[in-house]
Amino acid sequence: MLMPSQGVQILVATKPVDFRKGHDGLAALVQSMLAEDPFTGTVFVFRSKRADRLKILFWDGSGLVMAYKRLEESTFTWPSIRDGAMTLNRAQFEAMFAGLDWRRVRSLEVRRPAVAE
C-alpha cells in the first residue's frame, strides 16, 4: 500500500462525496470544497455516504495517485459531518485506514533531550 511519508499533511474532508468521481473530480473538490491545492503532496481523504468506503488522493510529484478502500464487515470511524476538513497525524491516518478508531490514537509528547556535558 502506498502510505504517506512522515511529515506529510493529511486532510480528511468531513462531508461525504460522490464516489463516482475519479482523479480529476476529486482534485476539483479539493480546490472548490476545501480551498486547497491538490498538487502540493498533501494527502486528501474522502468518505462515501456509506461510512464503509474511503478514497485517498495525493500528488506524488509526477501524477495524481488515488486509492480506494472498502471495509467488508464494518465501517470507518469518521469525524462529524461539517464543512471543510480536519487534519490527522500519520498514526491516526494509519488507524483509520485499518478500520480502527483513530480518535483513540495520540501522539507521544516527547520533551527535547538535554545535551550531556
Rg for the chain, CA atoms, rounded? 16
Distance CA(76)–CA(64), nearest Å, equals: 24
pLDDT at 111: 80
pLDDT of residue 1: 42
Global model pTM greater than 0.75: yes
pLDDT tens digits for 52-90? 999 999 999 999 999 999 999 999 988 887 778 888 888
* pLDDT tens-place string over residues 26-54: 999 999 999 999 999 999 999 999 889 99
Question: CA–CA separation, 23 vs 11, rounded Å?
Answer: 16
